[in-house]
Amino acid sequence: MDKGLYETSITSNIEISPGVHVISFEKRHGFISGQVIKIALSYEHLPRIYSICNGTQDNEVNILFNIKEEGYLTPKLSSIPEGGKILVSKPSGSFVAGNESTWMIATGTGIAPFFSMLDSGVIACKKLIHGVSYLNQFYFGTEIRKKLGENYICCCSREQGEGIFHGRVTSYIKGQANLPKHFKYYLCGKALMVVEVRDLLISKGVPYENILAEIYF
Amino acid sequence: MEGKREVLFGKTLTELQQIAAKHGWQKFVAKQIAEWLYKKKLISINDMTNLSKNTRQVLKETYGLGINPFSKVQESVDGTKKYLFATHGNNFIETAMIPENDRKTVCVSSQVGCKMGCLFCMTGKQGFQSNLTAGEIINQIKSIEEREEVTNIVYMGMGEPFDNLEEVLKSLEILTSGWGFSMSPKRITVSSIGIIPGMLAFLEKSNTHLAISLHTPFDEERKNLMPVEVAYPIKEVVKEIKAWDFGRQRRISFEYIMFKGVNDSPKHVKELARLLNGLRCRLNLIRFHPIPGTPLIGTDEETIQEFKDSLNKKGVFTTIRASRGQDIYAACGLLSTKELVKNR
Ligand SMILES: Cc1cc2nc3c(=O)[nH]c(=O)nc-3n(C[C@H](O)[C@H](O)[C@H](O)COP(=O)(O)OP(=O)(O)OC[C@H]3O[C@@H](n4cnc5c(N)ncnc54)[C@H](O)[C@@H]3O)c2cc1C
Ligand code: SF4
Distance from the CA of B290 to the center of ligand 2, in angstroms?
15
Residue A11 domain-assigned? Answer: yes
State yes or no: is B94 an active-site residue: yes
State yes or no: is B118 an active-site residue: no
Q: What is the pLDDT of residue B330?
A: 56
Q: Is B93 in the pocket of ligand 2 (CB under 6 A)?
A: no
Please identify, in words, the CATH class of the domain defined by B13-62.
mainly alpha
CATH of the domain at A77: 2.40.30.10
Name B130's bridge partners: B112
A103 or A44: whose pLDDT is higher?
Answer: A103
Q: Is B161 in the pocket of ligand 2 (CB under 6 A)?
A: no
Do A137 and A36 share a structural domain? Answer: no
The two beta strands, A5-17 and A20-26, are antiparallel
CA dihedral B246, B264, B113, A106 (to 10 degrees): 110
Do A121 and A52 share a structural domain? Answer: no
By C-alpha distance, the chain B residue nearest A199 is B293
Nearest ligand to the C-alpha atom of residue B226: 2
Contact B293 A202 (CB under 8 A): yes
Q: What is the pLDDT of residue B300?
A: 97
Residue A95 domain-assigned? Answer: no
Rounded Cα–Cα distance for residues B304 and B309 (Å): 9
Nearest-CB residue to A194 (from B165, B227, B233)? B227
Question: What's the pLDDT tens digit per position in B189-245?
Answer: 999 999 999 999 999 999 999 999 999 999 999 999 999 999 999 999 999 999 999
Rounded Cα–Cα distance for residues B152 and A139 (Å): 50
User: Coil, strand, or helix at residue B134?
Assistant: helix
Contact A211 B293 (CB under 8 A): no
Question: Rounded to whole angstroms, what are the CA distances from A149 to A154, A159, A163?
Answer: 11, 22, 12
Q: Which domain-ending residue is among A88, A114, A129?
A: A88
Average pLDDT over residues B82-103: 92
Alpha helices in chain A (DSSP H): 73-78, 112-119, 141-148, 169-174, 191-203
User: For residue B318, how many C-alpha atoms fall within 13 Å in the half-sphere facing its CB?
Assistant: 22
Rounded Cα–Cα distance for residues A202 and B294 (Å): 8
Taking chain B, what is the end-to-end CA distance rounded to the nearest angstrom?
Answer: 20
Domain map (residue ranges) of chain B: 13-62, 72-343
- Hey, of B230, B239, B259, B337, which one would you mutate to test binding to chain A, going by the most A CBs within 10 A of its CB? B230
Q: Which domain-ending residue is among A57, A88, A119?
A: A88
Interfacial residues of A (vs B; Cβ cutoff 8 Å) = 2, 36, 38, 46-47, 49, 92-95, 190-192, 194-195, 198-199, 202-203, 207-209, 211-215, 217
Mean pLDDT of chain B: 93
ipTM for the assembly? 0.95
Q: Is the pLDDT of residue B336 over 80?
A: no
User: From the DSSP assignment, how many helices (H) and strands (E) are in chain A?
Assistant: 5, 12
pTM of the model: 0.94
Rounded Cα–Cα distance for residues B79 and A192 (Å): 34
Question: What's the pLDDT tens digit per position in B132-182?
Answer: 999 999 999 999 999 999 999 999 999 999 999 999 999 999 999 999 999
User: For residue B233, how many C-alpha atoms fall within 13 Å in the half-sphere facing its CB?
Assistant: 14
Do A202 and A109 share a structural domain? Answer: yes
Distance from the CA of B344 to the center of ligand 2, in angstroms?
22
Question: Rounded to whole angstroms, what are the CA distances from B292 to A26, A116, B101, B125, B264?
Answer: 47, 36, 32, 10, 22
Average pLDDT over residues A155-172: 98
- Contact indicator for B116, A215 with CB cutoff of 8 Å: yes
Question: What's the pLDDT tens digit per position in A95-119?
Answer: 999 889 999 999 999 999 999 999 9
In sequence order, the 6+-apart residues with CB closer than 8 A to the CB of A42 are: A87
Do A145 and A78 share a structural domain? Answer: no
Q: Which domain-ending residue is among A88, A122, A150?
A: A88
Average pLDDT over residues A142-167: 97
Contact B197 A199 (CB under 8 A): no
Residue A34 domain-assigned? Answer: yes
Contact A198 B127 (CB under 8 A): no
Q: Is the pLDDT of residue B340 over 60?
A: no
Average pLDDT over residues B273-280: 97
Average pLDDT over residues A136-153: 97
Residue A97 domain-assigned? Answer: no
In sequence order, the 6+-apart residues with CB closer than 8 A to the CB of A62 are: A22, A23, A24, A52, A53, A54
> Could you count the other beta carbons within 10 Å of the beta carbon of residue A11?
15
Q: What is the DSSP code string of B215-237?
A: S-S-HHHHHHH-GGGGTS-HHHH
Contacts of A168 in chain B (CB under 8 A): none
Catalytic residue among B61, B94, B166, B339: B94
- Contact indicator for B344, B95 with CB cutoff of 8 Å: no
Residue A130 domain-assigned? Answer: yes
> Which of the listed residues A42, A68, A79, A139 should we mutate to test ligand 1's pocket, taking the one with most ligand atoms within 8 A of CB?
A68
Catalytic residue among B114, B118, B332, B339: B332
* C-alpha R_g of chain B: 21
Which DSSP symbol is given to B121? -
Question: What's the pLDDT tens digit per position in B282-308?
Answer: 999 999 988 888 999 999 999 999 999
Do A26 and A127 share a structural domain? Answer: no
Contact A208 B119 (CB under 8 A): yes
Contacts of B228 in chain A (CB under 8 A): 215, 217
Segments forming the whole domain that contains residue A12: 6-88
In sequence order, the 6+-apart residues with CB closer than 8 A to the CB of B247 are: none
Residue A119 domain-assigned? Answer: yes
Average pLDDT over residues B249-259: 95
Taking each helix axis from N to C end, the angle separating B301-313 and B266-276, rounded to the nearest 10 degrees, works out to: 40
Question: What's the pLDDT tens digit per position in A57-95?
Answer: 999 999 999 999 999 999 999 999 999 999 999 999 999
Q: Is the pLDDT of residue B4 over 90?
A: no
Do A80 and A25 share a structural domain? Answer: yes
| Domain topology for B72-343 | TIM Barrel (3.20.20)
Q: What is the pLDDT of residue B293?
A: 85
CA A194 to chain centre: 13
Name A127's bridge partners: A103
Domain count, chain A: 2
CA dihedral A151, A156, A159, A160 (to 10 degrees): 30
CATH of the domain at A118: 3.40.50.80
